Amino acid sequence: MTWRGVIEEYRTRLPLGADVEAVTLLEGNTPLLETPRLAEALGLDAHVYVKWEGVNPTGSFKDRGMTVAISQAVSEGSAGVICASTGNTSASAAAYAARAGIDAYVLIPEGQIALGKLSQAVMHGAKVVAITGNFDRALELVTALANEDSITIVNSINPYRLHGQKTAAFEICDALGRAPDQHYLPVGNAGNITAYWMGYREYHAAGVVPTLPRMMGFQAAGAAPIVVGRPVTAPETLATAIRIGNPANWRAAETARDESNGTIDAVSDAEILDAFTLVASVEGIFAEPASAAAVAGLKKVNAANRVPASSIIVCTLTGHGLKDPSRAIDQCPPPPTAADHLGAVRKVLRL
Ligand code: F0G
């Protein structure tokens, strides 16, 4: 049967009334790819899979939550939605709002979001404001605006977002026939780790899977409030998607970590860039830098001998690398040029 989007596929496990119509772009059903060359490159004796979320309709995992949040907002008669964003949430909110025929308002930190993400929000007709402050400040302002006007906030403090995002955990269990042993993912505003843990727990409680994974979250070292145990006032990382100093779902992420006997740790920008290049070059998967924090985290945990032999590992690759091509180009030397004849091209290609 053809895929109907995460709401119709998992409606019985979502808190939506039967009369709520799905606003969907047929998100979800993303590939769970086994990545043996990545495992080998990392020196891992384990089954490593990636949940490739960059192939969602707007190129990130945010679409799973947005279909649910915007469907609910429309059913409540909301005329518009608002969010603060490091880029992907705004791209997704703008697309689903366009699909629903309602307004989208977006606050972003000026100069700190990848151009691809900004172009998506603009193309989908969102009203975008770039503020001088960072993401954390944008979220404060958005929360105040949503309270004062009757527009719905669609950041991950909106519970419907997390219910949508938990469907990725369902898909992983459905594909593997079990839960993984360890699940790695990047942590920014800390919604996704919270949502995955909710999904795994629900499947476990319903008897669909007999075990639960350890949740392994990774922040960028310059934006690692959960790791250092206090808000970071001036977060810095080249992985702009997770450049967040005071995550909204901080406590819930700690609960996911503690209940699952997992970890929330930090990886450096250099480690993130290494993993970014590695996944693209050995597996043909072009994920964005923030996504690579999960793989950098797996490398770090393995180096500490904390990945049991033969275990089943899943890393979520949260967003598509094409959203920020200049970051990728910066990683590579510019291509050599050649005159337009065979000899010259052969010489450069060493063929
Ligand atoms: N990876 C990507 C590509 C993201 O865009 C985000 C968050 C994360 C990971 C972290 O997920 O916030 O649930 O812990 N992006 C948000 C945004 C903040 O505005 O697009 P999280």
DSSP string of 232-258?
A: -SS---S-GGG--SS-TTHHHHHHHHH
pTM over 0.95: yes
Confidence of residue 308 (pLDDT cuts 50, 70, 90): very high
Tell me if 249 CB under 6 Å of ligand 1.
no
Separation in Å, CA 276 to CA 111, 210, 291, 299, 327: 22, 33, 8, 12, 10
Give 137-175 pLDDT, tens digit per residue: 999 999 999 987 779 999 999 999 999 999 999 999 999
CA distances from 193 to 155, 199, 257, 333 (A): 14, 10, 9, 35
Is the beta carbon of 292 within 6 A of some atom in ligand 1? Answer: no
Mean pLDDT of the chain: 97
Residue of 53, 58, 189, 243 best suited for mutating to test ligand 1, as the one with most atoms within 8 Å of CB: 189
Q: What angle is formed at CA 77 by the lines to CA 71 and CA 82, rounded to 5 degrees?
A: 70
Which of 88, 128, 216 to mutate to test ligand 1, by most ligand atoms within 8 A of the CB atom?
A: 88
Residue to mutate, 53, 55, 60, ligand 1, most ligand atoms under 8 Å from C-beta? 60
pLDDT in tens, 232-246: 999 999 999 999 999
What is the rounded distance in angstroms from the CA atom of residue 315 to the CA atom of residue 298? 8
pLDDT at 249 over 90: yes
Q: Is the pLDDT of residue 33 over 90?
A: yes
Angle, CA 132 vertex, CA 129 and CA 137 arms, to 5° = 85
Q: What is the CA radius of gyration of the chain?
A: 20
Percent of the chain with pLDDT over 70: 100
CA of 98 to the centre of ligand 1 (A): 21
**Would you say residue 204 has pLDDT above 90?**
yes
Kindly indicate the confidence band of residue 1, based on its pLDDT and cuts at 50, 70 and 90. confident
Confidence band, pLDDT 50/70/90 cuts, at residue 92:
very high
Burial class (CB in 10 A: 0-12, 13-18, 19+), 349: exposed
Gap between the Cα atoms of 336 and 267, Å rounded? 33
Ligand 1 atom with minimal separation from the 291 CA = 1
